[in-house]
Amino acid sequence: MTRLKGNYIGGDWVWPASAASFDRTNPARPDEVVSTAPESTSTDVDDAIAHLSEHRHAWAATSPEKRADVLVAAADILATQAQDLAVELVREEGKTLAEATMETTRTPQNLRFFAGEALRMTGETYPTGDGSLVFSRREPVGIVAAITPWNFPLNIPSRKLGPALAAGNAVVFKPSEVTPLMGQRLVEALVQAGVPSGALALVHGHADVGRAMVANDEVDAVTFTGSTEVGTAIHGVTGVDVRTQLEMGGKNALVVLEDSDLDRAAAIIAKGAFGLSGQACTGTSRVVVHEAVADELVRRISQTAQAARVGNGLDEGVTFGPLANRAQIDKFCHYVEGATSQGAVLVDPDGHQADPPGGGYFVRPTIFRDVDPLSDLAQEEVFSPVLAFITVSSYDEAVRVVNNTKYGLSAGIVTSEISRAIRFSEDVATGLVKVNQATNGMAMNAPFGGMKHSSTQTFKEQAGASMMSFYTTDKTVYFTP
Ligand code: NAD
């Protein structure tokens, strides 16, 4: 068990005056406490932000080279720790060791990428014709509140703290209450690398801590990744002077038509739907399939689902870890029961129960066919390995089904027809479009973000120049020598 160091405020690791705490347990063995974290309040948040407000200017005035060096040093620290971090990540969050290792490898790469961006914060000059000069100046926004979910507890925060710090902002960071240890590990590396106390604060806790961050008048920008429900609540609170970036839920569809290669489609669906035990924002939760190939595709995916080795992500050969917590299990059961009552057919009736030793939060990959495209299972984000097959009879009907949800994060198609692939990329209302690839997975240097209720689309979360736009503010300067 790891008792966390506390919150990181004003350069010190401190516990709230009340010393209140909460335990995070291993989702594969819920009797094992993995981390004990401070149960902070708005007082802790306000203290943290007050310190940043007073001391943030030194980091903003640091040269871009220095800021880049610090981020690279943090990346080096995390890269050295990658194997140990992966084990801690499995115990705290539940993914398999292979999945955790991908995350602990990617996180330092993200920091290196943003280190480079520190050096590319360029402005522009504008012709005047009268001997004067007009130019734009890019400056840090100020204090950034970063609020993050549990499913990528290193990776997603690194894509917020990295660019924010690269641009010279100060950051107050609230990791998910499900993964506080990972939050501490990231901040430890940044502090050890040289991020000053005036540029970084960490406050642990639940929703109240996030609410207090969003409500604090000193905060200039809020970057949030999490559910659409919470993102919508944040959107209703932030003022016009607070730039707000919300990356939220998805109901991602993969389209398989009569011309699709079914072997290829089956492999792509298995990766998209069952990777990370279905707990990825871009995971495939709907398969929109032509009636001519539906039976065969369902049969193949069912076989793959049955072959999943469910268990503790640290155990040899396990391919499918537990869900993150009891709330995830409850949500899973709610949708499995609701789908049956709304007429969907459970493909493998005993398939969704899983009971490895240890009493963990285990389920099996679960498939429904003949799902009504307007039913809850087809419309709402389940965020677990429940896959809905929806049968259609044409490409046009498939596109209508893909677009007929409030979400717009990722959509894919399996096809060898180039014209159909290009048309699909035009027709679907999603921020990510995948051709012959799983709906999940992202390139670290490409724009990432959704549409509709999946994202504010104000700025893409990770996107080279546009990503840095969120963390910088522009002034236009008129200058006569
Ligand atoms: P969540 O929305 O429940 O919580 C996210 C964070 O917000 C947590 O730190 C939580 O404590 C905090 N929070 C809760 N209520 C708050 C409030 N009222 N004000 C401020 N902060 C508050 O999400 P989760 O369960 O941690 O993560 C799963 C969700 O995240 C899924 O919906 C998934 O699709 C989404 N997600 C989206 C992306 C993306 O890039 N689009 C990536 C990963 C996860």
Q: What is the DSSP string of 209-258?
A: HHHHHHH-TT--EEEEES-HHHHHHHHTTS-TTSEEEEE----EEEEE-T
The minimum-distance atom of ligand 1 relative to the CA of 177 is 11
Residue 381 lies in a domain: yes
Check if 211 has its Cβ closer than 6 Å to any atom of ligand 1.
Answer: yes
pLDDT of residue 30: 94
Query: Angle at the Cα of 330 (from 329 to 331), degrees rounded to 5?
Result: 90
HSE of 54, CA atoms in CB hemisphere, 13 A: 9
435 token code pair: 């051709």
Low-confidence ranges of the chain (pLDDT < 70): 1, 350-358, 458-465
Residue 441 neighbours by CB under 8 Å, 6+ apart: 271, 282
Check if 247 has its Cβ closer than 6 Å to any atom of ligand 1.
Answer: yes
Q: Tell me: the pLDDT tens digits for 63-120?
A: 999 999 999 999 999 999 999 999 999 999 999 999 999 999 999 999 999 999 999 9
CATH number at residue 469: 3.40.605.10
Q: Which of 160, 225, 459 to mutate to test the pocket of ligand 1 (most atoms within 8 A of CB)?
A: 225
Pseudo-torsion of CA 45, 200, 214, 57, nearest 10°?
A: 110
pLDDT of residue 119: 94
Asked whether residue 214 falls in the same domain as residue 294, the answer is no
Check if 249 has its Cβ closer than 6 Å to any atom of ligand 1.
Answer: yes
Residue 441 lies in a domain: no
Q: Give the domain extent around 428.
A: 252-435
Asked whether residue 243 falls in the same domain as residue 257, the answer is no
pLDDT of residue 348: 86
pLDDT of residue 357: 58
pLDDT of residue 2: 82
Alpha helix segments (H runs only) across 404-463 = 418-427
CATH number at residue 339: 3.40.309.10
pLDDT of residue 356: 59
pLDDT of residue 86: 98
HSE of 5, CA atoms in CB hemisphere, 13 A: 14
Does residue 154 sit in helix, strand or coil?
Answer: coil
Q: Tell me: the pLDDT tens digits for 303-354?
A: 999 999 999 999 999 999 999 999 999 999 999 999 999 999 999 876 666 6
- Using CA positions, which residue lies closest to atom 43 of ligand 1? 281
Residue 220 lies in a domain: yes
Check if 39 has its Cβ closer than 6 Å to any atom of ligand 1.
Answer: no
**Active-site position among 92, 117, 247, 381:** 247
455 token code pair: 């994202």
Q: What's the distance, CA 381 to chain centroid? A: 14
Asked whether residue 281 falls in the same domain as residue 237, the answer is no
Asked whether residue 126 falls in the same domain as residue 272, the answer is no
Residue 448 lies in a domain: no
Identify the bridge partners of residue 244 per DSSP, sorted by sequence position: 222
The single-letter DSSP state of residue 403 is H
CA of 206 to the centre of ligand 1 (A): 11
Asked whether residue 62 falls in the same domain as residue 160, the answer is yes
Whether the CB-CB separation of 71 and 111 falls below 8 Å is answered with yes
Asked whether residue 459 falls in the same domain as residue 423, the answer is no
Alpha helix segments (H runs only) across 81-174 = 82-93, 97-118, 155-166
Check if 42 has its Cβ closer than 6 Å to any atom of ligand 1.
Answer: no
For residue 269, give Cα distances in angstroms to 319, 367, 406.
15, 12, 22
Q: Determine the Cα–Cα distance for residues 262 and 260; give it in Å rounded to an integer.
A: 6
Check if 214 has its Cβ closer than 6 Å to any atom of ligand 1.
Answer: yes
Check if 87 has its Cβ closer than 6 Å to any atom of ligand 1.
Answer: no
Q: Determine the Cα–Cα distance for residues 479 and 168; give it in Å rounded to an integer.
A: 25
Pseudo-torsion of CA 78, 84, 89, 91, nearest 10°?
A: -160
Asked whether residue 274 falls in the same domain as residue 334, the answer is yes
Asked whether residue 417 falls in the same domain as residue 470, the answer is no
Asked whether residue 78 falls in the same domain as residue 208, the answer is yes
Check if 246 has its Cβ closer than 6 Å to any atom of ligand 1.
Answer: no
Whether the CB-CB separation of 469 and 311 falls below 8 Å is answered with no
CA of 377 to the centre of ligand 1 (A): 20
- For residue 155, give the nearest of 29, 13, 281, 48 by alpha carbon: 281
Asked whether residue 229 falls in the same domain as residue 259, the answer is no
Asked whether residue 121 falls in the same domain as residue 63, the answer is yes
pTM above 0.85?
A: yes
Residue for token pair 């040269």: 63
Residue 450 lies in a domain: no
Structural domain count of the chain: 2
Asked whether residue 190 falls in the same domain as residue 315, the answer is no
Residue 310 lies in a domain: yes
CA of 224 to the centre of ligand 1 (A): 7
Q: Which of 151, 177, 179, 328 to mutate to test the pocket of ligand 1 (most atoms within 8 A of CB)?
A: 151
pLDDT of residue 463: 53
Q: Determine the Cα–Cα distance for residues 271 and 268; give it in Å rounded to an integer.
A: 5
Residue 447 lies in a domain: no
pLDDT of residue 250: 98
Known active-site residue 103: no
Residue 312 lies in a domain: yes
- Using CA positions, which residue lies closest to atom 12 of ligand 1? 207
